[in-house]
Amino acid sequence: MQDHPIFSDEHRAIRKTLREFVTKELVPYTDEWEEAKEFPDSVFRRMGELGFLGLHYPEEYGGQGGDYLCGVILAEEMMGCLSGGVAMGIGCQTDMVCALLNKVGSAEIKERFLRPALAGEKIGCLCITEPDAGSDVASIRTTNQPDGEHYVINGQKTFITNGVRADFAIIVTRARGSEGARGMTLFIVEKGTPGFSVSRKLEKVGMHASDTAEHAYQDCRVPAENIIGEEGQGFYHIMWELQPERLFGAVSSVAGAQIMMDMTLKYVRERQQFGRPIGKFQAIRHRLGELATDIEAARQLSYHAAGLIKEGELPVKEITMAKLFASRMANRMADEAVQFHGGYGYMMEYTIQRFWRDSRLIRIGAGTDEIMLEVISRQMGL
């Protein structure tokens, strides 16, 4: 992971700096944040101050001007904080919200929202899923209705990462009377806008340090200048956004699986049963060998997709394969790691249980396994 040929000396220097930051400024507090079920907004500000939120964004808007691989390194190193919730909260900012702002936002939108988001001064969230529409984005029902220089928005959104703390939300809406992919538009709704409310903070099985919310929009008036991208093209903007989000998930899954592997290797070398370390038993050695192979395969597939993006391509099939394979692999690694730890693996004092709980979400978020298989098969011409 640290010395793959696609990474340059500059990339390795960034990785070293990020790892030192995560170790010194995040790891000592993640247990506390998990218990509190949130991490402080100051983490965003600190990471913005250090330039970490804008590693692969234009210098023109406060980014560092690096290539896409800098974002890959961020995704990997954030898992070292040992909290999937913290990593997901930061990833939502860098690879969902900022990705859309940078890709389809106007110069004015970028000044108003991308610049402060990269600085960690404003936190954003992306609102797609609704109570009755998840993987089927074309079925969303939140509506927009033009009214002079404003649009009136009505509807509900759910499963929103950073949704409680967000200073602004990018929401997917549709024109009244439109159907399917047509007539969908993205709006930025700022905190405090009349008619916009956080209706509920959701309780999750894992990812505890990440706040997840439901939003309600009731006759919410949003100025037309807050449209992001082209009016009526929102569906296609979101289909693009899902690609960096999915690869972020794949890379994070590989990094998390490697951490779980390292924890498990340490445990099986030290844990004695029947007069010898349990890692000496063939059943355990062979299973760990298979898992190590799966981790490496997922890593190479993810790096291949990342390398194609760096070269200016948008390899939908490879990204989707990486997300599917890496997330399933991380789930297997988590389940086996808990099994190898035995009763200790089920105890809250052992970090491995947190990875077990956190890793399950990635097979659902940013597109379920079933959707990934559908995308791959379509890319194959089926």
What pTM did the predictor assign? Answer: 0.95
Q: What's domain 9-122's architecture?
A: Orthogonal Bundle (1.10)
Tokens of 357: 């709980």
Q: What is the pLDDT of residue 2?
A: 53
pLDDT of the residue at 101:
98
132 exposure class (CB count in 10 Å sphere: 0-12, 13-18, 19+): exposed
Instruction: Look at residue 3 and tell me whether its pLDDT is greater than 60.
Output: yes
For residues 21-45, give the mean pLDDT. 98
Pick from 235, 64, 220: nearest CA to 143: 220
d(CA 78, CA 170): 24
pLDDT tens-digit readout, 152-167: 999 999 999 999 999 9
pLDDT(272) > 90: yes
Yes or no: say if 255 and 76 are a contact pair by the CB < 8 Å rule. yes
What pLDDT is stored for residue 209 in this prediction?
98
125-232 domain in CATH 2.40.110.10?
A: yes
Question: Residue 282 and residue 85: Cα distance in Å, rounded?
Answer: 35
Share of the chain above pLDDT 90, in %: 96
**CATH fold for the domain made of 236-379:** Butyryl-CoA Dehydrogenase, subunit A; domain 3 (1.20.140)
Catalytic residue among 38, 76, 77, 245: 245
Instruction: Count CA atoms within 13 Å of residue 113 on its CB side.
Output: 32
Is 76 a residue of the active site? Answer: no
For the chain, domain boundaries: 9-122, 125-232, 236-379
Sequential DSSP letters for 197-255: EEEEEPP-SS-TTS-EEEEEEEEEEEEGGGEES-TTBHHHHHHHHHHHHHHHHHHHHHH
Please determine whether the domains at 9-122 and 236-379 fall in the same fold group of CATH: no
